[in-house]
Amino acid sequence: MLVAVGPEELGRQLRRARQHLGLSLRDVHAVTAIPLVCLAALEEGDLAQLPSPVYARGYIRSYAEAMRLDGDRLALELWRCLEEAQVAASGGGHVAGPRPRGRAPVPPAQRVAAGPVPRQRARTTNGRRPSNLAPLRQPTSPWVPKPSRIRRMAPALERVAIAALLIVLAVGIWDLQRSRPVKKPQAPAQVAGASQTRDTTQNRAPASTPPPASTSSTTPVSDNGSLATYTTGRDRFAVMMQATDAPCWVQVRAGASGPVLFEGTLQPGEARPFDATRALWVRLGNLGHASVLVEGAALTLPNKPSFPYNLLLQT
């Protein structure tokens, strides 16, 4: 049994799903092409700011499917809310006045002479006024395609999906090959020069050598499409998380399966430091609006600005 919900509850469901994915309204606008004013009206449950019912239904379906929700169910609930709002605005009930149909009232004397009047069968409407949105129950808007059109478009959609999948796989393989370090062979002349230098230094007195510097890498040593791994070259290192120009949801753990050190949303310009030992696991909900610094050096983040991403910083 379906429980009727109001427009405010529909907006809260959309807002919670968006915040769970770590996206902003501008990110949803970039994916769905829905105006920002309409996105804000849907989340606030403000039906007066929405366009015609047909476009409002298409907007909430696209928004819900982008947030991995049941778009058909939310579109049906919004349609019911719009219909109830329009019925309430028109008066909410029948208005007393002259009857447009039926027979004229008969005087009592003529009624007795003519005999009993046959009783007409009343039309039942379950106590509700007929809806003014009845002509729109089968919209012809491009937001709601007909089943026959979907069947005709199915083969083309399958081919487009296969082509897109192949392109994504090719780009992922190319990105993985590009991020893998390449070992260059050492030239023979350099090898000979190094051996001569080693022979000459053996005859000299031993001198104190400086300690090796840290081998911190600002670019990922590996990236599988959802997890980028960086090496710091130190057992203990300092990490600074900062949101640049938009709110960014962050979760920080002590290692890939360690306890949660921080989980929350950083506002634009807000920074939070962390002291890590051997490994630190970070999940960013808005990768394009965040910066990560290790010992003061900014990391080169993957080119995935609108999707959540995982970072692993290790020794």
Model confidence pLDDT, tens digit, residues 200-243 = 445 554 445 544 444 567 888 888 888 889 998 888 889 898 98
pLDDT band at 143 (very low <50, low <70, confident <90, very high): low
Element (H, E) at 280: strand 279-284
Across 90-94, average pLDDT: 57
Question: Residue 256's closest CA among 273, 242, 276?
Answer: 276
Indicate whether 170 pLDDT > 90.
yes
Q: What percent of the chain has pLDDT over 90?
A: 14
Q: DSSP letter string over 199-217?
A: HHHHHSPP-PPPPPPP---
Q: How many CA atoms lie within 13 A of 267 on its CB side?
A: 0
Lowest-confidence range among 1-10, 81-90, 98-107, 172-181? 98-107
Are the C-beta atoms of 54 and 139 separated by less than 8 Å? Answer: yes
Question: Residue 312's closest CA among 299, 304, 247?
Answer: 299
Are the C-beta atoms of 184 and 224 separated by less than 8 Å? Answer: no
Alpha carbons 238 and 294: distance in angstroms, whole number:
6
Tokens of 209: 């050598």
Q: What percent of the chain has pLDDT over 70?
A: 68
Are the C-beta atoms of 33 and 22 separated by less than 8 Å? Answer: no
- Max mean pLDDT among 5-9, 169-173, 252-256 falls in 169-173
Average per-residue pLDDT for the chain: 75
Indicate whether 274 pLDDT > 80.
yes
Looking at the DSSP bridge assignments, the partners of residue 273 are: 240
Whole-structure pTM value: 0.33
